[in-house]
Amino acid sequence: MEILGGVVLRPRLADVELEYTHGALKFDIEDIGTRPDQEVLMTKAVHTAAFSNNTLGLPKVYPLENVKTINRETILNYLSSSYSRQARLAKIET
């Protein structure tokens, strides 16, 4: 369990891995826009209209122009806020 916790909470995140991830994200985002099945984009539009400024209204598809803003610090901040003891306890209580 300690090894798994270390991998999740303290990943190495090499620059090569971040570059690969940026490329994969760009591909996926561009692919969504070119698919004949536009259900993902339609659901996003409906949720944005119905639940603006709420969790369901937040975009599931990351904006392509923001992909480069994801860096090692962004990921580590997310992990520390989402996988902290307090976050786990809050999720259990709800």
Which position has the higher pLDDT, 40 or 21?
21
Residue ranges of domains in the chain, CATH in brackets: 2-93 (3.30.830.10)
Q: Band of the pLDDT at 91, cuts 50, 70, 90?
A: low
Does pLDDT of 20 surpass 90? yes
At 26 the pLDDT is: 92
Extract long-range pairs of 67-74: CB within 8 Å, 24+ residues apart.
67/22, 67/25, 67/26, 67/29, 68/22, 70/18, 70/21, 70/22, 70/25, 71/18, 72/13, 72/18
